[in-house]
Amino acid sequence: MAMTPHSPLASNLTARERILVIYTGGTIGMQQHADGLAPGGDFANRMATALSQLPLTQQQSLPSYKVISYAKLIDSSAATPLTWQQLARDINDQLTAYAGFVIIHGTDTLSWTAASLAYQLQGLDRPVVITGSMLPLESQGSDALDNLHGALQFAAKPVLQEVAIYFARQLLRGVRAIKQHSEAANAFASPNYPLLGERVGDDFIYYPSRGLGLQQRGAPRFELPDYNLVNQGEIVRIPLWPGISAWQLDAWLSDSRVNGALLQLWGAGNLPDDPSLLDVLARASGEGKLLAAISQCPQGSVHLGAYAAGYGLSDAGVLAGDDMTPEAAFTKLAHLLAQPLALEDQRQLFLTSLVGER
Ligand code: ASP
Q: What is the pLDDT along the chain (358 residues), one digit of tens a residue?
A: 333 333 344 445 556 679 999 999 999 999 988 888 888 989 999 999 999 999 999 999 999 999 999 999 999 999 999 999 999 999 999 999 999 999 999 999 999 999 999 999 999 999 999 999 999 999 999 999 999 999 999 999 999 999 999 999 999 999 999 999 999 999 999 999 999 999 999 999 999 999 997 777 667 899 999 999 888 999 999 999 999 999 999 999 999 999 999 999 999 999 999 999 999 999 999 999 999 999 999 999 999 877 777 789 999 999 999 999 999 999 999 999 999 999 999 999 999 999 999 9
Q: Is 331 a catalytic residue?
A: no
> Which of 95, 112, 98, 96 shows the shortest CA–CA distance to 24?
112
Read off the pTM. 0.94
**Residue 108 labeled ligand binder:** yes
2-210 and 229-350 have identical folds: yes
Q: Are the C-beta atoms of 339 and 348 separated by less than 8 Å? A: no
- Residue-range domain boundaries for the chain: 2-210, 229-350
Per CATH, domain 2-210 is 3.40.30.10: no
Q: Residues lining ligand 1, judged by CB closer than 6 Å?
A: 26-27, 75-77, 106-108, 132, 134
Measure the CA–CA gap between 69 and 90, rounded to whole angstroms: 12
- Count H helices and E strands in the chain, helices first: 12, 16
Sign of CA dihedral 197, 200, 202, 203: negative
Q: Are the C-beta atoms of 178 and 191 separated by less than 8 Å? A: yes
CATH among 3.90.550.10, 3.40.640.10, 3.40.50.40, 3.40.50.150 for 229-350: 3.40.50.40
Measure the CA–CA gap between 107 and 132, rounded to whole angstroms: 6
What atom in ligand 1 is closest to the CA of residue 28? 7
Q: What angle do CA 288, 289, 292 make, to 5 degrees?
A: 130
Nearest CA to ligand 1 atom 7: 106
What phi and psi, each to the nearest 5 degrees, are found at residue 86? -60, -45
Distances in Å between the Cα of 197 and the Cα atoms of 186, 267, 327, 332 are 15, 29, 21, 24
